[in-house]
Structure 1
Amino acid sequence: MLDKQLQEQNEKVASKDDFPINWIDRVSLFLSHTIKYLIPIIVLVMMYEIFMRYIMEKPTMWVNELSLWLAGICYLVGGIYATRLRSHIRIVILYDYVSRPTQRIFDLISTIIIVTFAAAVIYGGMEDAYRSFINWERFATYWDPPIPATMKPLTLICVFLIAVQSVNNLIIDWRNPKEKQYDPSKDLK
Structure 2
Amino acid sequence: MQRSTGEISEWLVPLAFVATTAWLVWHLPAFLLDWIPYTSDSLRGQVEAIYLRSDVTPNLPGIFGGHIDIVDLSALILTPIIGFIGARGVRPSGMELPGASTLDRAALFIGRVTMMMIAVMTLVMLYEVFMRYIMEKPTEWANEMTLWFASFTFLLSGFYAMQQRSHIRIFLLYDLVPRWLQRVFDSVSTLLIVLFAFFLVYGSYKQVFVNKLYKWELYGSAFNPPIPATLQPMVLIVITLVALQAVLNLFQDWNKMPEVHTDEPDQEEIDAMKRAVGQD
Q: Which has the larger radius of gyration?
A: 2
Give the structure with the higher percent helix: 1
Q: Do 1:139 and 1:148's aligned partners in 2 also have CA atoms closer than 8 Å?
A: yes
Letter in 2 for 1:146: P
Q: Does 1:133 align with 2:213?
A: yes
CA RMSD of aligned residues (A): 3.0
Following superposition, the deviation at residue 61 of structure 1 comes to 1.7
Distance 1:70 1:170 in 2: 31
Distance 2:110 2:240 in 1: 14
| Match in the other structure for 1:150 | 230
| Match in the other structure for 2:144 | 65
Q: Do 1:173 and 1:179's aligned partners in 2 also have CA atoms closer than 8 Å?
A: no
Distance 1:97 1:40 in 2: 42
Higher relative contact order (CA 8 A, sep 6+): 1
Letter in 1 for 2:161: A
What is the TM-score with the length of structure 2 in the denominator?
0.58
Following superposition, the deviation at residue 164 of structure 1 comes to 0.4
Gap runs ≥5 in structure 1: 1-5
Distance 2:187 2:152 in 1: 29
The range that moved more, 88-97 or 40-49, is 88-97
Q: Do 2:99 and 2:105's aligned partners in 1 also have CA atoms closer than 8 Å?
A: no
Tell me: CA distance 1:148–1:73, structure 2 relative to 1, closer, same or farther (3 Å): same
Following superposition, the deviation at residue 30 of structure 1 comes to 2.1
Following superposition, the deviation at residue 180 of structure 1 comes to 8.7
| Match in the other structure for 1:89 | 168
Gap runs ≥5 in structure 2: 1-86, 262-267
Identity %: 41
Distance 2:260 2:135 in 1: 53
- Count of aligned positions: 179
Distance 1:171 1:104 in 2: 10
Distance 2:176 2:246 in 1: 22
Q: Does 1:108 align with 2:187?
A: yes
Distance 1:154 1:95 in 2: 32
Following superposition, the deviation at residue 168 of structure 1 comes to 0.4
Which residue of the other structure, out of 159, 165, 175, is the alignment partner of 2:255? 175
| Match in the other structure for 1:78 | 157
